[in-house]
Amino acid sequence: MNLRWRDVAAATGLLGADGSVRSTVFAEMSALAAATGAVNLGQGFPDVDGPAAVVRAAQDALAAGANQYPPGPGIPELRRAVAEHQRDRYGLTPDPDREVLVTAGATEALAAAVLALAGPGDEVLTLEPYYDAYAADIALAGARHTTAPLRATPQGFRVDLEALEAAFTDRTRLVLLNTPHNPTGAVLSREELEAVARLAVRHDAVVVTDEVYEHLVFDGLRHVPIATLPGMAERTLTISSAGKTYSFTGWKVGWVTGPAALVEAVRTVKQFLTYVNAAPLQPAVAFALGDPGVARWVRELAASLERRRDLLVEGLTAAGFGVVRPQGTYFVLADGRPLGHDDGTELCRRLPALAGVVAVPVGAFTRPGSTTDAELRSWVRLTFVKRDEVLREAVERLAALRPAG
């Protein structure tokens, strides 16, 4: 019997040769942090909550009785706020009634989009490394996962454009894009997005783009949604969420925007996954999206994350890691090879004892046996979405790794 959960376990590297299922490396590393008292820079969630005004809006909604099922597509105020955000920020003009769908976080939007639009015989193309849920979603749909590598360069992690072109086939049904990119911190350039767009059009593929870090971009760079490129709005589903933008990762309020027919397809699946979620949080997120004070808070978060990125990048560099400076997100990738560590998974298991810090291996974001898996074997991911004092403590501890002399 071929049960789908086994495909999911296999696609995410969790299925042992004897048929047993391992826990994820995130669970293993968090347990290690708890057991050893190490500074946990493994999982990426903020240790400071988002704006108090947004919490108050949620409290008000709870007290005012927003406690029953909201409408299936999401409350109208939130759909309107999402549409206005896309218009004011990017010049996109989704119709709030037919082209915006509220979901249980970006996670549900991704799963519902892949389940709705790909199946057995189809290929779903992602960048590699990739956010781990993508491999699981593609396995759930019974589709084939193909990848195009991001490579470490002096200009950050960049898409290998030749490999991207070679990865497209006549069966490429979906391109599952992610910018700003977790885990590399790459913000895709216009040239990279144009290459994806040109190939998606040539192969008649739909683009599903995960933009949950759209506001967390550094160095004066600007996030460009691929839906804004000529000819792309009609074949693109854009996904985002309140979790990363407002530092409420536990709220799980996400949304998808795009052409009515594609949004309808996603809604058809989504309504039988969760149906609806987070009734009292939806008005609070609608408030957050439209409030100028909250928008200022988000800009300050991005500026503060940029400084915290610098703190961690400098600390990792001083400790002897090879580091590629991320352009956005919560994360930095660091190479242990200059310090004599060739295996990122082994390094992460030893890091609490060696330096009192927890990281996760980049192998958690690659396909076993791929070229990227081999290239990034000695790399680890660390988060800088922690308070300054936590990062300073981690940096001080990491200095212990530097060989004496």
Could you list the residues that contact ligand PLP (CB under 6 A)?
A: 105-107, 131, 178, 182, 210, 212, 241, 243-244, 249, 252, 254
Which residues in 25-39 are b (16+ Cβ under 10 Å) and which e? beebbbebbeeeebb
Q: Nearest distance from residue 243's CB to ligand PLP, in Å?
A: 4
For ligand PLP, the nearest residue by Cβ is 105
Structural element, H or E, at residue 175:
strand 172-178
- Angle at which helices 132-141 and 105-117 cross, to 10°: 30
Six-digit token pair at 131?
């956010």
d(CA 372, CA 377): 8
Q: Nearest distance from residue 227's CB to ligand PLP, in Å?
A: 17
Q: Nearest distance from residue 170's CB to ligand PLP, in Å?
A: 28
Would you say 326 or 356 has its CB closer to ligand PLP? Answer: 326
Look at residues 343, 344, 334, 328 and name the one whose alpha carbon lies nearest to residue 398. 334
Would you say 305 or 395 has its CB closer to ligand PLP? Answer: 305
Would you say 40 or 107 has its CB closer to ligand PLP? Answer: 107
Look at residues 333, 330, 332, 334 and name the one whose alpha carbon lies nearest to residue 304. 330
Look at residues 174, 199, 177 and name the one whose alpha carbon lies nearest to residue 122. 174
Q: Nearest distance from residue 295's CB to ligand PLP, in Å?
A: 19
SS3 content of the chain, % helix, strand, coil (to 5): 45, 15, 35
Look at residues 295, 215, 284 and name the one whose alpha carbon lies nearest to residue 253. 284
Q: Nearest distance from residue 357's CB to ligand PLP, in Å?
A: 21
Cα radius of gyration rounded to whole Å, the chain: 21
123-128 and 379-383 as β-strands: parallel, antiparallel, unpaired? unpaired
Would you say 246 or 321 has its CB closer to ligand PLP? Answer: 246
Q: Nearest distance from residue 133's CB to ligand PLP, in Å?
A: 7
Structural element, H or E, at residue 174:
strand 172-178
Q: Nearest distance from residue 251's CB to ligand PLP, in Å?
A: 8
Would you say 249 or 282 has its CB closer to ligand PLP? Answer: 249
Q: Nearest distance from residue 405's CB to ligand PLP, in Å?
A: 40
Q: Nearest distance from residue 178's CB to ligand PLP, in Å?
A: 5
User: 347 and 274 in contact (C-beta within 8 Å)?
Assistant: no
The residues, any chain, with a CB within 8 Å of residue 46's CB and separated by 6 or more, are 247, 249, 385, 386
Would you say 362 or 401 has its CB closer to ligand PLP? Answer: 362
Handedness of CA 37, 41, 42, 46 (dihedral sign): positive
Would you say 256 or 395 has its CB closer to ligand PLP? Answer: 256
H helix and E strand count, the chain: 15, 14
Would you say 146 or 241 has its CB closer to ligand PLP? Answer: 241
Would you say 106 or 284 has its CB closer to ligand PLP? Answer: 106
Q: Nearest distance from residue 210's CB to ligand PLP, in Å?
A: 5
Would you say 168 or 331 has its CB closer to ligand PLP? Answer: 331
Q: Nearest distance from residue 259's CB to ligand PLP, in Å?
A: 22
Q: How far is CA 306 from the centre of its chain?
A: 18
Q: Across the beta sheet with 236-241, what order do the strands follow?
A: 100-103, 254-257, 236-241, 206-210, 172-178, 123-128, 144-153, 156-159
Would you say 102 or 229 has its CB closer to ligand PLP? Answer: 102
The residue assigned the tokens 């009192």 is 356
Hey, which bits of 83-155 come out as E strands? 100-103, 123-128, 144-153
